[in-house]
Structure 1
């Protein structure tokens, strides 16, 4: 079992990286095109996976800034109720 564990961990890490690459939007993957990351992770599982996690994975929401959507664009405002709208309340 001890000899099989590193192989299982490498396989799990490779699958995690492949799923992450495939599910990431094309315009958010950094450094290389998406297809290049897939090939890199497949042909060099440990080195390619580590490279993707460090340099290719899309930045998280905290790194883009609060209130920002994909690509750093501002998110549209959500609908507000009439009691939250100052202009509506002034008109009453």
Structure 2
């Protein structure tokens, strides 16, 4: 089984580079036209020259936080945190209103019992 591992790793790198090249917008391709990069990856994929050349020199890779599109974790995203706070505030308001309504109902029930009135059926 281990004798197939190098072949599988080369194949995986070749497939990754090929798909990455196809999905990269034309304005993010460096050095050569996109079609030329696809041909280089296809023709020199078995010896790793094509895929490695694409990964090293073919695509503009923006450093995180330097104008490129960056992914922000939810706990670092201020908009997400604000939405959580807003949702929590709405839940707290609803819970408080339910408690107040329940307290009023119980107080009214207690007053009726003390005055000897029949309790209302709700």
Q: 1:22 maps to which residue?
A: 22
| RMSD between superposed Cα atoms in Å | 1.8
TM-score (norm 1): 0.65
The 5 A counterparts of 1:24-63 are 24-45=24-45, 46-60=48-62, 62=64
- Flag structure 1 segments of 5+ consecutive residues without an equivalent: 70-92
Q: Which structure features the higher share of helix residues?
A: 2
Q: What TM-score, normalized to structure 2?
A: 0.50
Structure number with the bigger relative contact order (C-alpha 8 A, sep ≥ 6) is 1
Name the CA distance, whole Å, in 1 between partners of 2:61 and 2:13: 19
1:39-64 Cα offsets, whole Å, 9 max, x none, are: 1011101001111111012222537x
Gapped regions of structure 2 (runs ≥ 5): 70-122
Rg comparison, structure with higher value: 2
Segments of 4+ moved more than 6 angstroms:
none
* 2:32 match: secondary structure: coil
